[in-house]
Amino acid sequence: MTEAIRIQQVSKIYQSRTGPVHALGPVDLDVRPGEFISIVGPSGCGKSTLMLMIAGLLDITGGTIEVNGKQVSGPQTDIGIVFQSPVLVDWRTVLGNVMLQVEMRKLNTNDYIARAHQLLASVGLQDFESRYPFELSGGMQQRTAFCRALVHDPPLILMDEPLGALDAMTREQLRVDLELLWMQTRKTVIFVTHSITESVQLSDRVVVFTPRPGMIDRVIDINLPRPRSFEVRESVQYNQYVHEITNIFMGYGIFHEQKQLSEVS
């Protein structure tokens, strides 16, 4: 079986004004078709760098990346991307923003309009299709961005902290929406997050990165039933996964226990 993504010995060194910055790698990772994979790692460990290289938007310093069996050497067209900010076009409606993806790719709008309606309905936006971005909450804007990333039916979706800018309650709801959306479409997803619980809740596998230069510390299979309801999230097994990842970061000194007042003073 062809891997959806094959990352082999990939590294990135940026040339900056103050000298070279070794941002990432070497990293080896195979992603299976239809897999939901999360990358968690400390700030600055090269997560966005890796996403940009997979998308073909940034040169690779060393190693190779293959997407669907083809080596990445320039911008990939057959992917959907979601960033932290939804980046919607102000003067287009919700439906217009989703269909922009189709129009920019010069695809036939008649072939995709039904899919756009269906995606928007699946995230609860059926009554908001003719609203403009300024009329929407942050969560609704990001749901629109999810639909835009999916409407042209790409096999691969790259998400770089897509829920990072949302308030805690909206974020909670969007995790649930995102899992359901993924279960319906079964796209290959690479999802970058700082949230350990989010990675466990959503993923088939969690890839834990070291501090910069980011390398893979551990890949953890998350064997939990889907959808990951509140019951699942309260299970012992779920919490064991969260602990396992937390402990890795504690080992790097990224988290530490609260000190006794007497130790501080």
Ligand X SMILES: Nc1ncnc2c1ncn2[C@@H]1O[C@H](COP(=O)(O)OP(=O)(O)OP(=O)(O)O)[C@@H](O)[C@H]1O
Residues that bind ligand X (CB under 6 A): 14, 16, 21, 23, 41, 43-49, 212
Q: How many residues bind Mg ion (CB under 5 A)?
A: 1
- The neighbour count for residue 72, using CB atoms within 10 Å, is 19
* DSSP reduced 3-state for 138: helix
| Nearest to ligand X of 117, 194 (CB atom) | 194
Q: Which is nearer to ligand X, 40 or 189 (CB)?
A: 40
Distance CA 7, CA 136 (A): 38
* Residue 233: contacted member of Mg ion, ligand X, none (CB under 5 to 8 Å, by partner type): none
CB-nearer residue toward ligand X: 23 or 181:
23
Contacts of 203 (CB under 8 A, 6+ apart): 36, 37, 38, 191, 222
- The token pair that represents 81 in the structure block: 């991307």
Angle of the 138-150 helix axis to the 168-185 helix axis, nearest 10? 20
Taking the complex as a whole, how short is the minimal distance between the CB of residue 15 and ligand X, in angstroms? 7
Q: Which is nearer to Mg ion, 48 or 193 (CB)?
A: 48
Stretch that binds Mg ion, among 40-48, 100-108, 141-149, 234-242 (CB under 5 A): 40-48
Backbone angles phi, psi at 139, to 5 degrees: -65, -40
Binding partner at 220 among ligand X, Mg ion, none, C-beta below 5 to 8 Å by kind: none
User: Which residues sit at the interface with Mg ion, rule CB under 5 A?
Assistant: 48
